[in-house]
Chains A and B, each alone.
Chain A
Amino acid sequence: MIRITDLHKKFGRFEALRGLNFEVPVGSAFALIGANGAGKTTTIKVLMNILEPSRGNVEVLGVDSRKLAPRELAQIGYVSENQEMPSRLTVAEYIAYLRPFYATWDRELEQTISKQLRLPLDRRIGDLSHGMRMKMALLCALPYRPKLLVLDEPFSGLDPLVRDEFMEELLNQAGEMTVLLSSHELGEIDGVATHVAFLDEGRLLFQESMGELMGRFREVHVTLEQAAMAPREAPKEWLQMRAMGNVLTFVDTQFDERSVGERVRSRIAGVKEMVWQPMALRNVFTTLARAARDGQA
């Protein structure tokens, strides 16, 4: 659905994207995660042809993003936290304006979504709250059943209730749609994303399926016979190593239940007990973000 090859984007001297490569499979819910300024929004704006890449290629629906024409755009839904819509039009007027641009616009679906999102159709867009505006953006992106739905930080600034309504509607309509979603709030994509890519300072740190990612991250607690100390040469896949009393704790980013015991004992002497536990996606994200900041990732 989307193929990004060696994507670079410069703003003057600042390099916002530094050679991104990843693919969004058809039918996936692909989460682009990273801290603020990691390059998520820039990547999305390039693939929507809102920004032009400095180097590299982006293919969307099999077309170079620079050549996206109305035909392709009619198959893409786009929701962004900072989308500017004509503030003096009412919700109903703007939807009526958009309808003719989409041959596949389904008015029944539009009415269903608008009811479920409880949008005040006669209110001016400029008078809507941020949450209402995001719901409206979703309403404007779904009724034509796009093949690709691009959501740029859709949950930013939403209260939990609105977020749940938004998410519920999104999941209701997702069907076979491919979803590309950017967020810096990991809790928000938990249970939604099937694939994840992690961006840091314009670089892609990894891209994999959610199952694989959650499977390879474990928090490991090693109880030693003596006072714990971090080994001099710990493998680079062990992050956030800390010692407290005789317990050494770290995050294993390449966890394998069959080999973990052997790997630990080969580097740490006097292992008395070893336990591990799965990590929440939020913790995986903060671990990676810290590692990236410290130059470990």
Chain B
Amino acid sequence: MVWHIFKKDWKLAWGFVVAVASLHWIAAFVKFRLGVSGENEALTMLSQVLPGLSIFGSMFLTSAIVHLDAIPGVKQDWLARPIPRGSLLREKVLFVMATVCGPILVANLFLGVANGFGFRSAFFQATIFAAYLFFFAILPIFALAAVTRNMTEAFVMGCGCAFLIGASLTMYEFANGSSHGTIGGVVWSGVGWIGEAVRLGLAAIATALIAGVQYFRRKTILARAVLVGFGLLMLVSPIFPWNAVFAVQRRLSAAGNSGAHVQVAFEPKLGRYKSSSAVALAEDRRRGGSENDADVFLPLQVAGVGDDAMLIADRAEVQLARSEGGPEYHGTGETFELRREGTGTPASPVYQKIVVPGSVYRDWKDRTAQMQIKYSLTRFVLKNSYAMPALGGNERMPGWGWCETEVNEAGTALELHCLQQGKGPICGTVFLENTVTGERNPPRSMCRSDYAPYLDRPLPDSLERFGTMLPFRDPTGLAKFPVDGAQLAHARVVIRVYEPEQHFTQSLTIPLIKLRDWDAE
């Protein structure tokens, strides 16, 4: 019966299916034609519009498929027919998977294979991407369509849901800002994928419940209540407590005890932070928040990171308490990154930046206080190292991706454009090296705090595009690079790939501190 209903739905919806599938395929083709560097303006514009359009098309198509045999209502002919409800539900899920997820999978498979990645890995990544979209967008739309009569109703309800999600995220941002980043903080962070996974799980459970209630009992009011209930539950997920979520990430992290050797200590001897220019400091403040905010920089000495390793502070939770007791300040400091490239490199100092609200700063600047910083840290270790010619470089690196190099139009920097399947690398340093003299330009870090085990974004496709600029000439003439333009013919681009080894927490207590002592100079 499932196949029989499937054929009927195909007769009714094939035009829509082909149209949406074509959008996905055209989007994939445009992305393929763009290549690694993506310099064609018309194609770039198309590549920005088409993926979103095709995902919206898939969402509308999902709704249309469910509405071919709408559940709420009393006029549908199928309600009086001996059509097994279980068969109908199975058919709808199968039809959505075949006609909505199928073309997405095919488009991404094409994109992977056409870009020179192996069939198996391209298929694997395309499947993961299609599965992610299925849970992220298709299932919730399926649930929404199951409790609505037609596209108009679903669209209105969908807009309502989108508004609620937007409003709740705005409220969350506002609350998080008001509490100096201490509420949750999981969203948009490296461990945000855990909250996202919980949301996807809830969406799957909610859809299963709603589909069961609707297809087998046709209780639309109850199904809508389930939808609203789970929706509210999902809206709560951004305020998951950081410590609990990071603890989950710690449990999931690779084996190793390297974090135990890392020691973060307050080192007053390093002196105050010296800003490169007052203009830059003012600019920092404008970017960082209110002009009334005050920046405090604490000198830290970090030991035990190890050679060819990197330490990223995913979060620094700051607590300031008066030594005589009384009210406390609770906020967050900025994240930082510490690199130890090569062996025996001396540890460079790190300044922990803390943006303190102006009123708090005025109140605390001259008081002696106790400060405690609770760090959530991740230690990265070097996994691979690659090199490619600086000029005309075109290299495929298994742990990094497919990269090309070209000199920018101004002739001041080398542009590195890369493409990788799936999530791509999350941490690496890139620098120019003269192959003859061995001289190197300062490395560029391409690290981000993102520990999701899969590509957790719905747009644009299953490929990750990334890159960086490697400057070799300062147009103002102030800076001099060890590897300059004249040496490019003998230079190579070195890419060092780091992977997270362990997540851990560490606490730093400074018994007596005055904020005024640690302003930038």
Looking at the complex, which one of B4, B74, B82, B218 makes contact with A74 (CB distance below 8 Å)? B82
Contacts of A69-86 to chain B: CB distance below 8 A? 69-74, 76, 78, 80, 82-86
The answer to whether residues A100 and B81 also contact, given A86-B68, A93-B11 and a CB cut-off of 8 A, is no
* A98 CB–B CB distance under 8 Å: yes
Q: Known contacts A45-B74, A83-B77: does B4 contact A89 (CB below 8 Å)?
A: no
A97 vs B77: C-alpha distance in the bound complex, in angstroms? 12
In this complex, what residue of B is CB-closest to A141?
B80
In chain B, what residue has the closest Cβ to A69? B82
B512 at the interface (CB under 8 A from A): no
Determine the distance from Cα of A84 to Cα of B75 in the docked complex, in whole angstroms: 6
Q: Is the CB of B8 within 8 A of A89?
A: yes
B81 near A101 (CB under 8 angstroms)? yes
CB neighbours (8 Å) of A101 from chain B are 1, 81-83
Is A85 a contact partner of B74 (Cβ separation < 8 A)?
A: no
Are A89 and B79 closer than 8 Å at their CB atoms? no
Contact A84 B12 (CB under 8 A): no
Q: How far is the CA of A70 from the CA of B84 in the complex (A)?
A: 6
B76 at the A interface (CB under 8 A) = yes
User: A71 to nearest B CB, angstroms?
Assistant: 7
Query: With an 8 A cutoff between CB atoms, is A88 at the interface?
Result: yes
Q: Are A102 and B80 in contact (CB under 8 A)?
A: no
List residues 138-161 of chain A with CB under 8 A from any CB of chain B: 140
Within 8 A of B (CB), among A37-95: 45, 48-52, 69-74, 76, 78, 80, 82-86, 88-89, 93
Are B80 and A76 in contact, with the CB atoms below 8 A? Answer: yes
Q: What is the chain B residue whose CB lies nearest that of A85?
A: B77
Contact across chains for B12 and A83 when beta carbons are under 8 A apart: no
B80 with A71: CB separation less than 8 A: no
Give bound CA distance, A84 to B1, whole Å. 21
B76 touches A84 (CB 8 A): yes
A117-170 interface with B by 8 A CB criterion: 137, 140
Inter-subunit contact A89/B80 (CB<8 Å): no
* CB-based nearest B residue for A49: B79
Closest CB in chain A relative to B69 CB, distance in Å: 9
Q: Which residue of A lies closest to B75 (CB)?
A: A84
Partner of A89, one of B12, B74, B75, B84: B12
Contact of B4 with A97 in the complex, beta carbons under 8 Å: yes
In the complex, A84→B82 CA distance in Å?
Answer: 16
Whether B12 lies near A50 (C-beta < 8 A) is: no
Q: Which of A70, A88, A98 contacts B12 (CB 8 A)?
A: A88
Chain A residue contacts of B75, Cβ below 8 A: 80, 82-84
Q: Which residues of B contact A89 (CB under 8 A)?
A: 8, 11-12
Given known pairs A50-B74, A83-B75, the reply for A100 and B80 (CB within 8 Å) is: no
Shortest CB–CB separation between residue A9 and chain B, in angstroms? 12
CB-CB < 8 A to B12: which residues of A? 86, 88-89
CA distance A85 to B68 in the complex (A): 10
Q: Are B8 and A70 in contact (CB under 8 A)?
A: no
Q: Which residue of B lies closest to A100 (CB)?
A: B4
- Residue from A45, A85, A97, A102 with most neighbouring chain B CB atoms (10 Å): A97
Is the pair B74, A97 in contact by a Cβ cutoff of 8 Å? no
Give residues 181-223 of B contacting A (CB, 8 Å): 218
Flag if A48 contacts B79 (CB, 8 Å): yes
Among residues of B, the one whose C-beta sits closest to the C-beta of A73 is B82
Q: Identify which of residues 65-105 in chain B touch chain A, using a CB-to-CB cut-off of 8 Å.
A: 68, 73-77, 79-84
A97/B8 in contact, CB under 8 A: yes
A194 shortest CB reach to chain B, Å:
24
Report yes or no: A71 in contact with B82, Cβ–Cβ below 8 A. yes
Which chain B residues numbered 322 to 378 have a C-beta less than 8 Å away from chain A?
none
Instruction: Provide the residues of chain B in CB contact with A51, threshold 8 Å.
Output: 74
Cα(A80)–Cα(B77), bound, Å: 9
B81, chain A: closest CB distance, angstroms? 6
Q: Chain B residues near A85 (CB, 8 Å)?
A: 77
Residues from 208 to 235 in A contacting B, C-beta threshold 8 Å = none
Give the complex CA separation of A72 and B79 in angstroms.
13
B80 partner, pick from A52, A73, A93, beta carbons under 8 A:
A73
**Residues on A with beta carbons closer than 8 Å to the beta carbon of B1:** 100-101
Q: Which residues of B contact A93 (CB under 8 A)?
A: 8, 11
Contact B84 A48 (CB under 8 A): no
Q: How far is the CA of A50 from the CA of B73 in the complex (A)?
A: 8
Query: For B80, what are the chain A residues with a Cβ–Cβ distance below 8 Å?
Result: 48, 50, 73, 76, 78
- The answer on a CB contact under 8 Å between B79 and A50 is yes
Q: What residue of chain A has the Cβ atom nearest to residue B70's Cβ?
A: A84
Q: Which residue of A lies closest to B9 (CB)?
A: A86
* Complex Cα gap A272–B319 (Å): 110
- With A86-B68, A88-B12: A70-B79 Cβ-Cβ less than 8 Å: no
Q: How far is the CA of A137 from the CA of B83 in the complex (A)?
A: 17
Residues of the A chain whose Cβ atoms lie less than 8 Å from the Cβ of B218:
52
Q: How far is the CA of A104 from the CA of B342 in the complex (A)?
A: 81
A48 to B73, CA, bound (A): 13
Contact A70:B83 (CB < 8 A) given known A86-B68, A89-B12, A100-B1? yes
Tell me the bound Cα distance from A137 to B76 in angstroms.
Answer: 12
- A140 and B77 alpha carbons, distance in the complex (Å): 10
Residues of A within 8 A of B8 (CB): 86, 89, 93, 97
Q: A98 touches which one: B7, B73, B81 (CB < 8 A)?
A: B81
Nearest residue (CB) in A for B84 is: A70
Closest residue of chain B to A70, judged by CB?
A: B82
Residues of A with C-beta under 8 A to B11? 88-89, 93
- A71 CA to B75 CA, complexed, in Å: 21
Expressed in whole angstroms, the minimum distance between the Cβ of B303 and any Cβ of chain A is 71
Q: Nearest CB to that of B7 among chain A residues?
A: A97
Beta-carbon nearest neighbor of A74 in chain B: B82
Interface centre among B76, B82, B83 (most CB of A within 10 A): B82
A69 to B82, CA, bound (A): 7
- Chain B nearest Cβ from A48, distance in angstroms: 5
Which residue of B has the minimal Cβ distance to A81? Answer: B75
A102 touches B77 (CB 8 A): no
Interface string of B6-23 (1 = CB under 8 A from A): 011001100000000000
Residues of A within 8 Å of B76, CB to CB, are 84
Q: Which residue of A lies closest to B8 (CB)?
A: A97
Q: Shortest beta-carbon distance, B348 to chain A, in Å?
A: 69
- Which residues of chain B have C-beta atoms less than 8 A from A140's C-beta? 77
* Bound Cα distance from A48 to B8, whole angstroms: 24
Q: In angstroms, how far is the closest chain B Cβ from the Cβ of A161?
A: 25
A199, B7: Cα distance in complex, Å: 43
A245 to B73, CA, bound (A): 56
A85 to B79, CA, bound (A): 11
Cα(A47)–Cα(B73), bound, Å: 16
A102 and B4 in contact, given A82-B75, A84-B76, A85-B77 (Cβ under 8 angstroms): no
Chain B residues whose CB sits within 8 angstroms of the CB of A45 once the complex forms: 74
Shortest C-beta distance, B66 to chain A (Å), equals: 14
Residues of the B chain whose Cβ atoms lie less than 8 Å from the Cβ of A49: 79
In the assembled complex, the Cα of A69 lies from the Cα of B1 at a distance in Å of: 15
5 A–B contact pairs at CB < 8 A? A73-B81, A76-B80, A86-B12, A86-B68, A89-B8
B interface residue numbers (CB < 8 A to A): 1, 4, 7-8, 11-12, 68, 73-77, 79-84, 218
- A70-B82, A98-B81 known, 10 other contacts, Cβ within 8 Å: A45-B74, A69-B82, A73-B82, A80-B75, A84-B75, A86-B12, A86-B77, A88-B12, A93-B8, A140-B77
